[in-house]
């Protein structure tokens, strides 16, 4: 099994910073269609998201679950019934017990990727990471997975810095997740 590890904020959803209200749920262009294309290419969609808003007291874990279920309904509308979802509610220096802690799941640490890999028997070499920040890029490097940067969210701010590294894991800069999927689909034809 190969996986597409997909960031949430700025990649699936348009918000660059913490999503605090359900009303601000705003998917990026054609994102669920893009995830369906990735699924059809054999990638298990695995959403991997830092949610330190929980540690900071902005919202509870129930709100993270609510947004997960919302994405799940949108994915189901596109025919994607199977996806995985992992989040890190922690912060190393801010917040309250039990969330204020140095954990191994907060990206760029690869704890969530390794957990998913174990649970779904994922081959990381065939997998990809899609994200809008150096945090996602760092995750990709830590787990040695190919990385696709999107221009949605904070992508524009980080593209130069990431491209200057000339890391072979970096696969390019795309308008959004949908165009990442189109590009991968085209390369398989
Ligand atoms: Mg992001
Ligand atoms: Zn964590």
Task: Identify the CATH assignment for 2-187 out of 3.40.190.170, 3.40.50.1000, 3.40.630.10, 3.90.1150.10.
Answer: 3.40.50.1000
Q: How far is CA 123 from CA 7, 51, 141, 184, in A?
A: 19, 26, 15, 18
Tell me the CA–centroid distance for residue 55 and ligand 2, in Å: 10
Joined tokens for residue 48: 């991997």
Helix (H) or strand (E) holding 104: none
* Annotated catalytic residue 9: yes
DSSP 158-183: HHHHHHHH--TTEEEEESSHHHHHHH
Q: Which ligand is nearest to the CA of 9?
A: 1
Tell me the CA–centroid distance for residue 119 and ligand 1, in Å: 24
Tell me the CA–centroid distance for residue 16 and ligand 1, in Å: 7
Q: Which ligand is nearest to the CA of 106?
A: 2
Q: How far is CA 184 from CA 41, 77, 138, in A?
A: 8, 22, 21
Query: Which pLDDT band, with edges at 50, 70 and 90, does 188 fall under?
Result: confident
Model confidence pLDDT, tens digit, residues 33-49: 999 999 999 999 999 99
* pLDDT value, residue 177: 98
* pLDDT value, residue 112: 98
* Annotated catalytic residue 7: yes
With a cut of 80, say whether residue 85 has pLDDT above it.
yes
Model confidence pLDDT, tens digit, residues 101-150: 999 999 999 999 999 999 999 999 999 999 999 999 999 999 999 999 99
Model confidence pLDDT, tens digit, residues 3-31: 999 999 999 999 999 999 999 999 999 99
Model confidence pLDDT, tens digit, residues 56-70: 999 999 999 999 999
- What number of helices (H) and strands (E) belong to the chain? 6, 6
* pLDDT value, residue 107: 98
Which position among 9, 17, 23, 24 bears the catalytic label? Answer: 9
Tell me the CA–centroid distance for residue 134 and ligand 1, in Å: 9
Q: What mean pLDDT do residues 68-90 have?
A: 98
Model confidence pLDDT, tens digit, residues 171-185: 999 999 999 999 999
| Exposed e or buried b per residue across 29-49, where buried means at least 16 C-beta atoms within 10 angstroms of its C-beta | ebbbbbbbbbbeeebbbbbbb
Query: Which pLDDT band, with edges at 50, 70 and 90, does 91 fall under?
Result: very high
* pLDDT value, residue 96: 87
Q: Which ligand is nearest to the CA of 61?
A: 2
Tell me the CA–centroid distance for residue 97 and ligand 1, in Å: 25
């Amino acid at each position: 099994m190969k996986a597409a590890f997909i960031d949430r904020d700025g990649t699936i959803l348009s918000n660059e910073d913490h999503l605090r209200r359900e009303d601000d749920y705003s998917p990026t262009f054609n994102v669920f269609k893009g995830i369906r294309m990735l699924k059809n290419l054999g990638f298990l969609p695995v959403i991997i998201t830092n949610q330190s808003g929980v540690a900071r007291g902005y919202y509870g874990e129930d709100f993270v679950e609510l947004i997960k279920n919302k994405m799940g309904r949108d994915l189901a509308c596109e025919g994607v019934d199977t996806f995985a979802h992992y989040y890190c509610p922690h912060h190393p220096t801010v917040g309250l017990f039990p969330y204020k802690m140095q954990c191994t799941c907060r990206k760029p640490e690869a704890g969530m990727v390794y957990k998913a890999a174990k649970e779904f028997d994922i081959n990381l070499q065939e997998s990809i990471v899609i994200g809008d920040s150096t945090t996602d890029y760092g995750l990709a490097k830590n787990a040695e997975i190919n990385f696709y940067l999107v221009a949605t969210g904070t992508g524009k701010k980080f593209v130069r810095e990431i491209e200057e590294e000339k890391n072979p894991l970096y696969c390019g800069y795309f308008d959004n997740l949908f165009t990442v999927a189109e590009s991968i689909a085209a390369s398989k034809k």
